[in-house]
Amino acid sequence: MDRLYFLDHASIPFHFRQTPRDFVVEEVPLYEWSGEGEHLILHVRKKDLTTWDMLSAIAKHLGIKEREIGYAGLKDKNAMTKQYISLLKIHEEKLGTFDHEKIKILDRFYHNNKIRIGHLRANRFFIRLKKVTPVAAEKIKEALRSIQAHGIPNYFGYQRFGMFGDNYKKGQGIVEKTLKERNVKMRKMYVSAYQSHLFNLWLSRRIEISKLINSFDVSELEALLNMPEHDIVWMKKQKHPFKLIEGDTMMHYPHGRLFALEYKDEEIARFDERLISPTGLLSGKRVKTSQGQARIVEEEYDVKMDEDGARRYAWIFPEECEANYREEEAWMELHFTLPKGSYATVLVEEIAKRKIKENS
């Protein structure tokens, strides 16, 4: 999918390849471990393995089912990743003989509860870009400063769509009942890819609307956007590059309850202050939809399906952004922290202003 980028600079040349040397992810836990309880928390480092591969190797060694091991989120295969997993403390002794060339247990803790999906605060990333000229280095630093100041669109990354980027087409076929998939796990993956594709299309449209708001007068925008004048005037007042629309389904940031956006200047201020952020729809059942003008835009990307829907932050705010240029090697080393469920490669593509998967 050719998505719109929110930054306005021209494409920046550099080389990126997602490997364990150049792509490192460290999970930031949601809370501190209690130091007591029946669960053993392992801080684990892996490389060239999916999280499922790692869990399978550990479960096989211990003689248990993979589902008995708790984890907070899935981590990239083509990376060096550090994350926390949990299992019952009764298995601790047998772990003493665990040995795997691609898995290392870094530390152990005790805790009262099993780790569940989503039990992480954020992910900290290190990414190395190569073949970076001094001119490109300055442009990268400037782009990262803009990202630090305004945030980025929370697109789903290319990893979501499979090796050839077309898993969503199979999901669409399943939803439209032109394709059958008996494997429940694969069916869920394909439909999820389709939900993600629709979300990305909607988000790209919202960025297009935001850019039009910044570029044209109110009189011209009424015809371009087919929106009432007072909606356009209200969006024109907003300083943030991503324009909120009346009826947007907002969510407290970085977590909290959903609510509908009203015409209030204080709501704009809360978004600017990173206290709230708009959400986009993942089509499906039992999900809150937007209202008013926001719903009119959203409806085009809302498809009826049997799966449950959800809301996802449309805009996120990377933290602790750093860019260190090593001119002798022509390397730019990026450090940044993203909220859970967000893609580091989306941030890199926003800086590059182009797709980066072809370099992998």
Instruction: Quick: pLDDT tens for 25-63.
Output: 999 999 999 999 999 999 999 999 999 999 999 999 999
Distance CA 115, CA 30 (A): 10
Residues 6 or more apart in contact with residue 119 via CB below 8 angstroms: 29, 30, 31, 72
- Under the banding of pLDDT at 50, 70 and 90, the label for residue 264 is confident
Distance CA 340, CA 35 (A): 24
Distance CA 40, CA 96 (A): 13
**In the predicted model, is pLDDT for residue 160 greater than 50?**
yes
Q: Quickly name the fold that domain 31-118 has.
A: Pseudouridine synthase (3.30.2350)
For 99, the token pair is: 């040995």
CA 319, 196, 210, 262 torsion: positive or negative?
negative
- Give the CA count within 13 Å in the CB-facing half-sphere of 202: 31
Distance CA 29, CA 119 (A): 7
Residue type, 138: E
Tell me if 244 sits within 8 A of 206, measured CB to CB. Answer: no
- Under the banding of pLDDT at 50, 70 and 90, the label for residue 3 is confident
At residue 21, the 3 state secondary structure works out as coil
Class of residue 74 by CB neighbours under 10 A (exposed 0-12, middle 13-18, buried 19+):
middle
Residue of higher predicted confidence among 255 and 24: 24
Tell me if 68 sits within 8 A of 58, measured CB to CB. Answer: no
Q: Quickly name the fold that domain 125-151+320-359 has.
A: Alpha-Beta Plaits (3.30.70)
Which member of 76, 231, 248, 302 is catalytic? 76
195 C-beta neighbours (distance < 10 Å), count: 25
**In the predicted model, is pLDDT for residue 109 greater than 60?**
yes
- Under the banding of pLDDT at 50, 70 and 90, the label for residue 163 is confident
Task: Using DSSP bridges, classify how beta strands 152-153 and 103-111 pair: parallel, antiparallel or unpaired.
Answer: unpaired
Mean pLDDT value of segment 106-124: 95
Distance CA 216, CA 100 (A): 59
Tell me if 119 sits within 8 A of 74, measured CB to CB. Answer: no
pLDDT digits (tens, 9 = 90+) for 184-203: 999 999 999 999 999 999 99
Tell me if 44 sits within 8 A of 71, measured CB to CB. Answer: no
> What pLDDT is attached to residue 263?
87
pLDDT digits (tens, 9 = 90+) for 330-345: 999 999 999 999 999 9
Active site residue 76: yes
Mean pLDDT value of segment 108-118: 95
In Å, how far are 25, 213, 280, 337 from 323, measured between CA atoms? 16, 31, 30, 13
Mean pLDDT value of segment 134-142: 98
> What pLDDT is attached to residue 200?
97
Tell me if 305 sits within 8 A of 191, measured CB to CB. Answer: yes
Distance CA 175, CA 123 (A): 32
**In the predicted model, is pLDDT for residue 15 greater than 90?**
yes
In the chain, where the domains are located? 31-118, 125-151+320-359, 153-316
Tell me if 235 sits within 8 A of 268, measured CB to CB. Answer: no
Query: Mean of the per-residue pLDDT values for the chain?
Result: 95
**In the predicted model, is pLDDT for residue 358 greater than 60?**
no
- Structurally, at CATH architecture level, domain 153-316 sits in 2-Layer Sandwich (3.30)
> What pLDDT is attached to residue 1?
53
> What pLDDT is attached to residue 357?
76
* Residue for token pair 């992480």: 120
> What pLDDT is attached to residue 360?
39
- For residue 254, is the peptide bond before it cis, meaning its omega torsion is within 30 degrees of 0? yes
Helices (H), 63-183: 92-95, 134-150, 167-175
pLDDT digits (tens, 9 = 90+) for 271-298: 999 999 999 999 999 999 999 999 999 9
Q: Indicate the angle between helix axes 218-225 and 229-236, nearest 10 degrees.
A: 120
